[in-house]
Amino acid sequence: MLFAFLAGLNLPRAEAGLSREMASLQELAQILQQKPLKALSEASLWQAATRGMLASLGDPYSYYLNVQEYTEIKQLKTGEVAGIGIEVGVQNGELKVISALDHSPAWKAGLQAGDLIRKIEAKSTAQLSFAESLQLLQGETQTWVQLEIERPPSLTRFNLRIQREILDLNPVRYQMLPNQIGYIRLNSFFSDQVPESMQTALTALDEAGMRALILDLRNNPGGTLSNAIEVCSLFLPQGNVVRVVDRENQETLHTVTGLPLLDSGKELVLLVNQGTASAAEIVAGSLQEQGRAVLLGKKTFGKGLVQSLQSLSDDSGLSLTTSKYLTAFGQAVHGKGIEPDLEVELQTGVQQGSEQDTQLQSALAFVQDAL
């Protein structure tokens, strides 16, 4: 722990080998522990300093996670976590809902992709960092959070009180639709279960006589890069998936990893919308560029940054943006999104998967015409 270490030193600058800036940081730590009217612990100083250093990056997706928060975010990979079930991001300085997890408390309360969160527990999100907003949204199961929401394009404002619950993070649901058209709903790429669950779904549908497939990535907030590559590999026999660009502007080109499970002669339609983000955009962009899938719906969110989790020695951690990604053909995604091949609106308030779901019905009609 940086501050705990520095505060315990009482050495001349030259002897300690500290830079001028680090020496000043040591002095500040000692002053803040000894002089203020309000006593400060080493832990609180450390957390404040860490958050301040990360804030200097000017990146809302790089932030400090205390021990509890770091434990919870790692649990996303195992499928066990409590919350209200939303993924949020920052666009144009505004806290925006990327997606509400299917059947989560947020989904049941009516939160939608594109909703703007103006207040959390009466605190304006305009005055909060991204990390501070996440902290307020998180909490123990059976506790409540109060939100003030603004919904474009009417900009109507309303309040929601949502109870936190243990979330069902089963990433994949599937069924056979009329005319032997398979349907898979992939709701995120976070869980380690994603590749195996997708393989199970594709195999079951294929054995049931599937003639074509609709893969629903709407309101999918993304997840891990490795899961995105593995999912692409289920549909592409060869080729590139994504370009990852690091801080030195060096590119790493990722390719598919195995044999596809969906026959190349079977039509594939991907449903996308403004809640399709990050790893979901990697899959959508790759399959579109390779000519393997038709994208139908609305333009995607546009989050083309890659975050890594960094563990610290006290079991806390960091979410740190370490790279950005481009499509395999070199197109930027961040702040731009991916345009669908067929743009289809979905009326506000219509439940996805229902008979009134115009995007799903349009995908069914497109596939049936192609059969």
Query: Catalytic annotation on 230?
Result: no
> Phi/psi at 121 (nearest 5 deg)?
50, 45
Extract the tokens encoding 61.
């997706």
Distance, in Å, from the CA atom of 56 to the CA atom of 52, rounded to the nearest integer, reads 6
Query: Catalytic annotation on 278?
Result: yes
Beta-carbon contacts of 292 under 8 Å, excluding residues fewer than 6 positions away, are 235, 236, 264, 268
DSSP 8-class letter at 208: T
Q: Which of 133, 278, 316, 362 is flagged as catalytic?
A: 278
Are 165 and 144 in contact by the 8 Å Cβ rule? The answer is no
Angular region, 206: left φ>0, alpha ψ -120 to 50, beta rest = alpha
Q: Which residues does residue 340 pair with via DSSP β-bridges, in sequence order?
A: none
Extract the tokens encoding 157.
């404002």
Distance, in Å, from the CA atom of 351 to the CA atom of 163, rounded to the nearest integer, reads 21
Are 215 and 299 in contact by the 8 Å Cβ rule? The answer is no
Distance, in Å, from the CA atom of 155 to the CA atom of 300, rounded to the nearest integer, reads 21
Count CA atoms closer than 13 A to 150's CA, side-chain side. Answer: 13
Angular region, 93: left φ>0, alpha ψ -120 to 50, beta rest = left
| C-alpha 251: how far from chain center | 22
Query: Catalytic annotation on 289?
Result: yes
Distance, in Å, from the CA atom of 156 to the CA atom of 154, rounded to the nearest integer, reads 5
Q: Which residues does residue 165 pair with via DSSP β-bridges, in sequence order?
A: 83
Are 201 and 252 in contact by the 8 Å Cβ rule? The answer is no
Measured torsion, CA atoms of residues 114, 115, 118, 121, in degrees rounded to the nearest 10: -130
Q: Which of 133, 289, 323, 362 is flagged as catalytic?
A: 289
Q: Which of 77, 96, 298, 303 is flagged as catalytic?
A: 303
Q: What is the set of active-site residues?
A: 278, 289, 303
